[in-house]
Structure 1
């Protein structure tokens, strides 16, 4: 690797200064000599309740200046093992879902053909579909690890096939994900009818609702995930409403009874050693995030995933034992 990109040293330049890129990484529109790229997707036309997640990438980048390169929980210095950039935001067409899907997929293909791991910041959850289209074009049907309070497997919403509530049904129908090697984690809250639960399972996903997840440890969850996805290429999608609204009030469709930021970090760290090919963190709504705690949480979740990329580059990662837990 001829050129290695890394952040501004915050011990030499104050963290509140400078242009707000993720972790103060250089903003470079390159697909070469990098292991990962942080990519904003400022699109929220697929949302159904509160809107404004198009401003999520900007808010998450702003609070990411608090992050430091060494992750003690994984014992990894990110930039000792990785080179990464802030790729900037993808071009989208506000108000036009299918046009924007094509734009997102086309732009993401440039990174994937160079084996760059994209760290995508939304935007509403509808952006995951064009991302998965690009992933499947590069890797074939992928495994999905999906953290969310909603399964997002409706057939349609307000008569529309493409919304943030239908994305993971479309992904199965288009053969973008191998649902038999995929898992959805954290579902909770009131429903329109019982089919909202059974639909995801009928599509082939393994579903661990919040009521079940609260009864096991993070290590046990890790065993279940590793057993489920195996060595398949893994795409991770993290809806910030996986967190309880006490920890992430800035989101469009919050559900009470969720998880703490500490629990979320522990769960994401369990993905260590998987064949990770990409990640998104979606549904951050800055207008409802008065104290910016949601943006801080999202920045840290993205950081944990980047740390996993670095950990994979470093190697020598123990794989969890086979799990005795089934859901």
Structure 2
């Protein structure tokens, strides 16, 4: 059983104590007992429309107190197999994106370097570039599973190269991604021209629109994702606007006709077996989040990230046990 696990809510009321993710212990000192850390990057200076995603980590943590350690959909008690903490927030510099990228890379690299899996709560989607810089220092170019309404591969926005519409183009240019093992799912909404999505394909990404995903369904989409990313290290980036605004009204650039929460959860649950080395959940904007609907969705999806880590650890332990008993 993991050293670090949530408080027992049958003994300690959920509304008490510090707001950490899932009531995990707060610990900003790394050690060998950690399989993952949850950390916030409260930065939103890269947003192009609504601002306020700097409060996303706080909102996700606040709702996550309702999460419980046993995941019935995956039939696993998470903390029998994994140990994790809330690592707190990485310091950012509001309004200064290049300097904040340095902070993100410096803050995450010690985590990644020790083989601990970071789960980052954003913040707008610009932060993913800093995360990928840290991950690529350890693993080299990684595959990408990207759920989003937007490809975020524009060359610039308002003449600026770094914002929440450009991180994946910059990541390709910097050699952080293995685009032959990368896939983007959920693109939809109006564009400035047909080249917007074609640019992502020209960069090497496999791109699926929301309508294409809905035509094939969850099972076939999962087959495509698994085949695309293969066995190497993979980063998962989840923009909450992948969901329809009915399920995620609290976001910066909502797009109608999106994915429902049932299908989104099924997609993430079906990613077991992929070698994930990092995750993020971005673009939660609580000022527009009535009744914590968006925070609820985001927290539950992050819960499924932790479940993927636990399932992988369970499989490893079973394999080691079988080897010992031979």
Pairwise TM-score range, normalised by the shorter structure: over 0.9
- How far did 1:15 drift? 1.2
- How far did 1:220 drift? 1.3
Is the CA contact (8 Å cut-off) linking 1:237 and 1:281 kept in structure 2? yes
SS in 2 for 1:190: coil
How many angstroms apart in 2 are the aligned matches of 1:276 and 1:286?
28
- How far did 1:75 drift? 1.3
How many angstroms apart in 1 are the aligned matches of 2:229 and 2:289?
34
User: 1:34 aligns to what?
Assistant: 34
- How far did 1:217 drift? 2.5
Q: Work out whether 1:281 is the aligned partner of 2:281.
A: yes
Is the CA contact (8 Å cut-off) linking 1:221 and 1:270 kept in structure 2? no
Post-superposition Cα deviations, 1:202-241, rounded to whole Å, max 9, x if no partner, equal 0000001111100122221111111001001010000000
Is the CA contact (8 Å cut-off) linking 1:37 and 1:84 kept in structure 2? yes
How many angstroms apart in 2 are the aligned matches of 1:5 and 1:158?
45
The Cα RMSD (Å) is: 1.2
User: 1:4 aligns to what?
Assistant: 3
1:1-327 equivalences under 5 Å are: 4-32=3-31, 33-315=33-315
How many angstroms apart in 1 are the aligned matches of 2:10 and 2:48?
43
User: 2:323 aligns to what?
Assistant: none
SS in 1 for 2:299: helix
TM-score by length of 2: 0.95
How many angstroms apart in 1 are the aligned matches of 2:5 and 2:213?
36
How many angstroms apart in 2 are the aligned matches of 1:121 and 1:303?
12
Query: Runs (4+) of structure 1 moved beyond 3 Å?
Result: none
Higher helix share: 2
Post-superposition Cα deviations, 1:148-176, rounded to whole Å, max 9, x if no partner, equal 00000000000100000001000111010
TM-score by length of 1: 0.95
SS in 2 for 1:197: helix
Structure 2 unaligned regions, length at least 5:
318-326
SS in 1 for 2:65: helix
How many angstroms apart in 1 are the aligned matches of 2:95 and 2:202?
32
Give the count of matched residue pairs. 316
Is the CA contact (8 Å cut-off) linking 1:238 and 1:281 kept in structure 2? yes
How many angstroms apart in 2 are the aligned matches of 1:75 and 1:139?
31
